[in-house]
Amino acid sequence: MARLTNKVAVITGGANGIGRSIAEAMAAEGASIAIGDIADDAGAETVAAIEASGARAVYRPCDVANGADIKALIEAAIAEFGRLDILVNNAAVAIGGMPVHEMTDAQWDRLIATNLSSVFHGCKHALPHMIAAKSGSIINMASAQGHVGLDGWTAYAGAKGAIMSMTRQMAVEFGKHNVRVNSISPGTIATPMNEKVVADLGEHVAKAWVLMHPIGRIGKPEEVAEAAVYLASDLAGFTTGIDLRVDGGLTATPRFLPDLFKPDDA
Ligand SMILES: NC(=O)c1ccc[n+]([C@@H]2O[C@H](COP(=O)([O-])OP(=O)(O)OC[C@H]3O[C@@H](n4cnc5c(N)ncnc54)[C@H](O)[C@@H]3O)[C@@H](O)[C@H]2O)c1
């Protein structure tokens, strides 16, 4: 039996990568999907693919750095589908190579607005509906990077660490309303985000990623999506306040070594 029948999910950053996989996997389990993203063409394409599979989906342009956009996305989902059961705060940008003392205030502010304040805004606007319904599942996308360190990633990792802390906090705060709040920490996953990192930094990074994961490869977006489906479903009804690591063992090892990221001839 489908695990998300009659549920409605809002997914930020659902046009590409992990977010798209989550949207497709939740739709396949019976959910109706509202996607917010800044990649309008890819968003429309994702909606078309979900509709072609027989499920319902809508796309709405939404810059998650802007709280008003997120509010409008959630209101649009409720106007279209009549309820809200699942919020996946997934959209983020991966920007590394920025030692703290070289980061501009503008770079910091933009990253925190996109990767962290977005989670606050998503929760702030979804929670009143979930509290009224006495039911809801919020899934925040954290990262292995929130558990371990890497040169130049303080802002990104800081946002992810804060997301995990906020997740625990909100799980405690809203458990009495039967609203569950969990996060997922993926390891390195094959998505457009990482294709860009390799294009920017070099192939040696892709080789290092494989070495870092005890499972011997990087992950697939569908493997993160499966975790999200579980956390969203009633099967996870007693699971709240956790961070689910979908990381091929990355954070279980001391292999997360910055030296691996140097080119062979360095
Ligand atoms: N790919 C990985 O290895 C990895 C690892 C750990 C955590 N994550 C996290 O998983 C999530 C998804 O990552 P991904 O690899 O699928 O990324 P991606 O870049 O492949 O896709 C991200 C999506 O978010 C959208 N987006 C970017 N900025 C936005 C904004 N301001 N407003 C709305 N949408 C915006 C993009 O258009 C895109 O559709 C992120 O939170 C990321 O930090 C990814």
Distance 239 CA to ligand 1 centre (A): 25
Task: Provide mean pLDDT across the span 197-212.
Answer: 89
Annotated catalytic residue, options 59, 81, 153, 156? 156
3-state helix/strand/coil string of 19-49: HHHHHHHHHHCCCEEEEEECCHHHHHHHHHH
Is pLDDT of 193 > 70? yes
Are the C-beta atoms of 34 and 12 separated by less than 8 Å?
no
Please say if 156 is a catalytic residue: yes
Closest atom of ligand 1 relative to the 94 alpha carbon: 43
Beta bridge partners of 137: 86, 180
Q: Compute the radius of gyration of the chain from its Cα atoms.
A: 18
Establish whether residue 118 lines the binding site of ligand 1, counting it when its CB lies within 6 angstroms of any ligand atom. Answer: no
Is pLDDT of 3 > 80? yes
pLDDT for res 9: 99
Task: Point out the least confidently predicted range of 145-149, 187-191, 196-200.
Answer: 196-200
> Using one digit for the tens of pLDDT, what is the confidence trace for 68-109?
999 999 999 999 999 999 999 999 998 888 899 999 999 999
Establish whether residue 192 lines the binding site of ligand 1, counting it when its CB lies within 6 angstroms of any ligand atom. Answer: yes
Are the C-beta atoms of 146 and 244 separated by less than 8 Å?
no
Distance 135 CA to ligand 1 centre (A): 27
C-alpha angle 233-75-244 in degrees, rounded to nearest 5: 30
- Tell me the domains of the chain and their CATH numbers: 8-261 (3.40.50.720)
Contacts of 248 (CB under 8 A, 6+ apart): 187, 188, 213, 214, 215, 216, 217, 218, 219
Establish whether residue 113 lines the binding site of ligand 1, counting it when its CB lies within 6 angstroms of any ligand atom. Answer: no
> Using one digit for the tens of pLDDT, what is the confidence trace for 34-72?
999 999 999 999 999 999 999 999 999 999 999 999 999
Distance 155 CA to ligand 1 centre (A): 15
Is pLDDT of 125 > 60? yes
Distance 190 CA to ligand 1 centre (A): 11
> Using one digit for the tens of pLDDT, what is the confidence trace for 126-157?
999 999 999 999 999 999 999 998 889 999 99
Establish whether residue 188 lines the binding site of ligand 1, counting it when its CB lies within 6 angstroms of any ligand atom. Answer: yes
Q: Above pLDDT 90, what percent of the chain?
A: 86
- Beta-sheet pairing, 8-12 with 32-37: parallel
Establish whether residue 193 lines the binding site of ligand 1, counting it when its CB lies within 6 angstroms of any ligand atom. Answer: yes
- For a ligand 1 pocket test, name from 191, 197, 205 the mutation site with the most ligand atoms within 8 angstroms of its C-beta: 191
Is pLDDT of 258 > 60? no
Sign of the Cα pseudo-torsion (249, 158, 201, 261, in order): negative
